[in-house]
Copies of this chain bind each other. A is one copy, B any other.
Amino acid sequence: MRVSKAQAEANRARIVVAASSLFRERGYDGVGVVELMAAAGLTHGGFYGHFQSKVDLMAEAAAFSFSQSAAGAEGVGVDEFFRYYLSREHRDARAEGCTMPALCGDAARQPEAIKATFAAGVEGLLVKLASALPESGNEDGNRVRARTIDMVARAVGAIVLSRACPDESPLADEIVEACRLELLRGLSTPANN
């Protein structure tokens, strides 16, 4: 059942796309190779023709979702970015949402290759946000960088904490809302201390 080279490449791409969603939704240990391949319309035996190992796909899926997020955030203001990031919609959209709150906990226990992919994803987001931040005359680059890191940590932490609470619990909603308000407030009155 050989398949054209173009078809094979498309199949491979479909595996990566499906994996990036399934992993975000259920974690690296929560999805097996059989299900990963089935989600791309294939059977599991062909997996090792495309990837060296499951860990290999984990890294590639993470890289894909980071680049996808970066593309999606193109031309979006910092304000707008966090307004969506810290929303109930984003919290509930695990499969399509940001990879960081979905998989950083898992990534921390994975091989260095995966952690390197995550670090690159974080760095990419930091650079993008820092450059999109409204200019503030009396701030040096270090301070802008520190504030950007802090904002990302707040946003990731809020989603992580909110998702760990029972579905529909008041605390889950309170967390994303409090963090959104506080973060946006800080954004409108930049570094005055």
Chain A residues within 8 Å of B, Cβ to Cβ: 26-27, 29-30, 94, 100-109, 112, 115-116, 118-119, 122-123, 145-147, 149-150, 152-158, 160-161, 163-167, 169, 171-172, 174-175, 178-179, 181-183, 185-186, 189, 192-193
Complex alpha-carbon distance, A192 and B109, angstroms: 40
List B contacts of A186 (CB < 8 A).
193
- Name which of A108, A146, A167, A169 has the most chain B CB atoms within 10 A of its CB: A108
List B contacts of A106 (CB < 8 A).
27, 105-106
Q: For the complex of A and B, list the 4 residue pairs with the smallest distance between their C-beta atoms, beginning with the closest.
A: A105-B105, A157-B157, A153-B157, A108-B163
- Whether the pair A119, B156 counts as a contact (CB closer than 8 A) is no
A and B contact pairs by CB, cutoff 8 A, 11 listed: A27-B105, A27-B109, A30-B109, A104-B105, A104-B161, A104-B163, A119-B164, A119-B169, A122-B171, A149-B175, A189-B193
- Tell me what chain A mostly uses at the interface: helix, strand, loop, or mixed: helix
- Whether the pair B104, A160 counts as a contact (CB closer than 8 A) is yes
- Whether the pair A161, B171 counts as a contact (CB closer than 8 A) is no
- Name which of A112, A165, A172, A174 has the most chain B CB atoms within 10 A of its CB: A165
List B contacts of A166 (CB < 8 A).
112, 115-116, 119
